[in-house]
Amino acid sequence: MIATDTQAACLGAILFTDLVGFTEFNDAVGDARAFEVLDLQAALAGQAIASVPGARVVKELGDGLMIWIDTADAGLSCALELMRSVERARATGDLPLGVRMGMHHGEALPRGDDLVGQTINIGARVADLAGPGELLVSEALVANCGDVHAATTLRPVGPVFVKGVQDPIWLHRVVDPA
Amino acid sequence: MVASTGPTEPLSIRIASTSGAVRVIAEDRADVSVQGRAEQRHDDRHVTVEGGSSRLTVRVPLGSDVVVGAESGGVGVVGPLGHVSAVSRSGRVIVSDVTSADIRAESGRVEVDGCRGECVVRGDSGKVEITECGTADIVTRSGRITVSGVRGDVRAHCVSGRVEVDLDEAADVDAETVSGRIVVRYPRGVTPRRTDEDDAVGGDCVLHARAVSGRVTVGNR
Confidence of residue B2 (pLDDT cuts 50, 70, 90): very low
Give the span between the Cα atoms of B119 and B12, in whole angstroms.
Answer: 19
Q: What is the pTM of this model?
A: 0.89
For testing contact with chain A, the best of B41, B89, B98, B104 (most A CBs within 10 A): B104
Among B68, B157, B179, select the one facing A158 at the smallest CB separation.
B68
Measured between beta carbons, the chain B residues lying within 8 angstroms of A25 are 178, 212
Give the span between the Cα atoms of B166 and B161, in whole angstroms.
Answer: 16
Strands B22-27, B56-61: pairing kind? parallel
Question: Are the beta carbons of B87 and A158 separated by less than 8 Å?
Answer: yes
Closest residue in B to A132 (Cα) is: B139
Average pLDDT of chain A, as a whole number: 91
Q: Where in chain A does DSSP place strands (E)? A: 10-19, 55-61, 64-69, 99-111, 114-116, 135-138, 153-160, 169-175
Burial B88-124 (b: 16+ CB within 10 A, else e): bbbbbbbbbbbbbbbbbbbbbbbbbbbbbebbbbbbb
First and final CA of chain A: distance in angstroms? Answer: 46
B79-129 pLDDT per residue, tens: 999 999 999 988 899 999 999 999 999 888 999 999 999 999 999 888 999
Measured between beta carbons, the chain A residues lying within 8 angstroms of B139 are 20, 98, 131-132
Question: Are the beta carbons of B67 and A158 separated by less than 8 Å?
Answer: yes
Q: What 8-state DSSP symbol labels residue A130? A: P
Residues of A with CB under 8 A from a CB of B: 20-21, 24-25, 27-29, 96, 98, 128-132, 134, 155-161, 167-168, 170-171, 173
3-state secondary structure of A146: coil
Question: Are the beta carbons of B87 and A155 separated by less than 8 Å?
Answer: no
Question: Are the beta carbons of A160 and B69 separated by less than 8 Å?
Answer: yes
Give the span between the Cα atoms of B138 and A125, in whole angstroms.
Answer: 20
Q: How far is the alpha carbon of B50 from chain A, nearest alpha carbon, in Å?
A: 8
Q: How far is the alpha carbon of B189 from chain A, nearest alpha carbon, in Å?
A: 30
For residue B20, the model assigns a pLDDT of 87
ipTM: 0.84
For residue A2, the model assigns a pLDDT of 53
Least confident of A51-55, A158-162, B177-181: B177-181
**Closest to A102 measured CA to CA, from A120, A89, A85:** A120
Give the span between the Cα atoms of A114 and B164, in whole angstroms.
Answer: 43
B140-160 pLDDT per residue, tens: 988 899 999 998 999 999 888
Measured between beta carbons, the chain B residues lying within 8 angstroms of A98 are 139, 157
Give chain A's largest Cα–Cα span. 47
Question: Are the beta carbons of A134 and B122 separated by less than 8 Å?
Answer: yes
Phi, psi of A5 (to 5 degrees): -110, 105
Give the span between the Cα atoms of A25 and A22, in whole angstroms.
Answer: 5
Q: What 8-state DSSP symbol labels residue A131? A: P
Q: How far is the alpha carbon of B187 from chain A, nearest alpha carbon, in Å?
A: 29
Measured between beta carbons, the chain A residues lying within 8 angstroms of B56 are none
Are the C-beta atoms of residues A135 and A80 closer than 8 Å to each other?
Answer: yes
Question: Are the beta carbons of A28 and B69 separated by less than 8 Å?
Answer: no
Q: What is the 3-state secondary structure (H, E, C) of chain B?
A: CEECCCCCCCCEEEEEECCCCEEEEEECCCCEEEECCEEEEEECCEEEEEECCCCEEEEEECCCEEEEEECCCCEEEEEEEEEEEEEECCCCEEEEEEEEEEEEECCCCEEEEEEEEEEEEEECCCCEEEEEEEEEEEEECCCCEEEEEECCCEEEEECCCCEEEEECCCCCEEEEECCCCEEEEECCCCCEEECCCCCCCCCCEEEEEEECCCCEEEEEC
A100-121 pLDDT per residue, tens: 999 999 999 999 999 999 999 9
